[in-house]
């Protein structure tokens, strides 16, 4: 999605359940306008945050004109994939299987993946792409366009998202934490943007809080003599400066909120609330 719209809006990492909210982005060319809704992955929820994420994904399946199911080029269909397949069988919306990262495997492996998934579900279309290498993404846009109903242009051609800037900043910080911290910590992390102001000279002052569930996790986020927190901040600041188009003075704080993922109040405060 980031590649298609030409700007980083949704964060990425190798860890599952990276996306927690529904993220809306807008792609516009001379022929069409496509509104993409990136949702959390469907999985077995272990807490209220997980339940919220699955509910967001399942409701979105019923609201869109086309579903894109993004998979990696592997012929192995795991338990998580089968859970998704069962959900797809219950909706009447056209489904395009998008096999991403084809640049990382031989053509035969990609073909095996396509064959394996084709046996499980009758997809409207299957498109193999590499978002990183920009391979076949034009074909994906073409196939999506064929399935969309005619309608008005909802956004001007310069709009790429309706996400608030503060939310994007918080997600950028969370992405850097996801990429740098050990596996057991990131799932229990939330990030809030507390202050975001621009000075007269153009410099942005931004303060964000990284929230974790345990005191020992707080120590890991901060690191020895603050080394890990500093590294998260340095990496986040680079992306935030590209986002705002100027210099950023970024300060990060670390807070502990025990069991926040099972607290309705904390979930709402951290932006995980159903606004349908």
Q: Is residue 158 in a domain?
A: no
Q: How many CA within 13 A on the CB side of residue 82?
A: 4
Whether 78 maps to a domain, the answer reads yes
Residue 71 falls inside a structural domain: yes
In this structure, the answer to whether residues 78 and 131 fall within a common structural domain is yes
What is the rounded average pLDDT for all residues in the chain?
91
Domain boundary among 84, 119, 147: 147
The pLDDT value recorded for residue 5 is 76
| 245 plus 215 within the same structural domain | yes
Decide if pLDDT at 275 tops 70: no
Residue 267 pLDDT more than 80?
A: yes
- One domain for residues 123 and 199: no
Residues 189 and 261 in one domain: yes
- Name the phi and psi angles at 56, rounded to 5: -60, -45
Predicted pLDDT of residue 163 = 87
Structural domain for 209, as ranges: 165-269
What are the tokens at 112?
Answer: 């095996």
Strand order in the sheet with 125-128: 67-71, 95-99, 125-128
* pTM to 2 decimal places: 0.83
How many helices and strands, by DSSP H and E, does the chain display?
Answer: 9, 8
Same-domain check for residues 14 and 118: yes
Tell whether 7 and 142 lie within a shared domain. Answer: yes
- How many domains is the chain partitioned into structurally? 2
Question: What share of the chain in percent tops pLDDT 70?
Answer: 96
Q: Report the alpha-carbon distance of residue 57 to residue 276 in Å, rounded.
A: 12
| 207 in the same domain as 139 | no
CA gap 229, 173 in Å, rounded: 10
Q: Which residues pair with 161 in a beta bridge?
A: 25
Bridge partners for 69 per DSSP: 97
């Amino acid at each position: 999605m980031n590649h298609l719209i030409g700007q980083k809006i949704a964060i990425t990492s190798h860890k599952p359940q990276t996306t927690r909210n529904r993220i809306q982005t807008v792609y516009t060319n001379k022929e069409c306008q496509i509104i993409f809704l990136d949702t959390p992955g469907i999985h077995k929820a272990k807490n209220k945050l997980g339940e919220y994420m699955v509910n967001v994904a399942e409701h979105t399946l019923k609201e869109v004109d086309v579903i894109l199911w993004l998979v990696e080029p592997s012929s192995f269909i795991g338990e998580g994939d089968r859970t998704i397949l069962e959900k797809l069988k219950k909706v009447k919306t056209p489904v395009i299987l998008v096999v991403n990262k084809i640049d990382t495997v031989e053509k035969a492996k990609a073909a095996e993946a396509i064959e394996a998934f084709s046996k499980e579900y009758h997809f409207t279309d299957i498109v193999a792409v590499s978002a990183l290498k920009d391979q076949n993404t034009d074909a994906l846009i073409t196939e999506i366009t064929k399935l969309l109903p005619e309608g008005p242009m909802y956004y001007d051609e310069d709009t790429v998202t309706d996400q608030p800037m503060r939310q994007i900043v918080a997600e950028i910080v969370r992405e850097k934490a996801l990429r740098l911290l050990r596996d057991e910590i990131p799932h229990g992390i939330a990030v809030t943007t507390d202050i975001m102001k621009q000075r007269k000279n153009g410099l942005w002052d931004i303060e964000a809080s990284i929230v974790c569930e345990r005191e020992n996790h707080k120590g890991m986020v901060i690191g020895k003599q603050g080394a890990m927190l500093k590294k998260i901040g340095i990496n986040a600041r680079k992306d935030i400066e590209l986002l705002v188009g100027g210099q950023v003075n970024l300060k990060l704080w670390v807070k502990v909120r025990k069991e926040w993922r099972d607290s309705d109040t904390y979930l709402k405060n951290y932006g995980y609330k159903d606004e349908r």
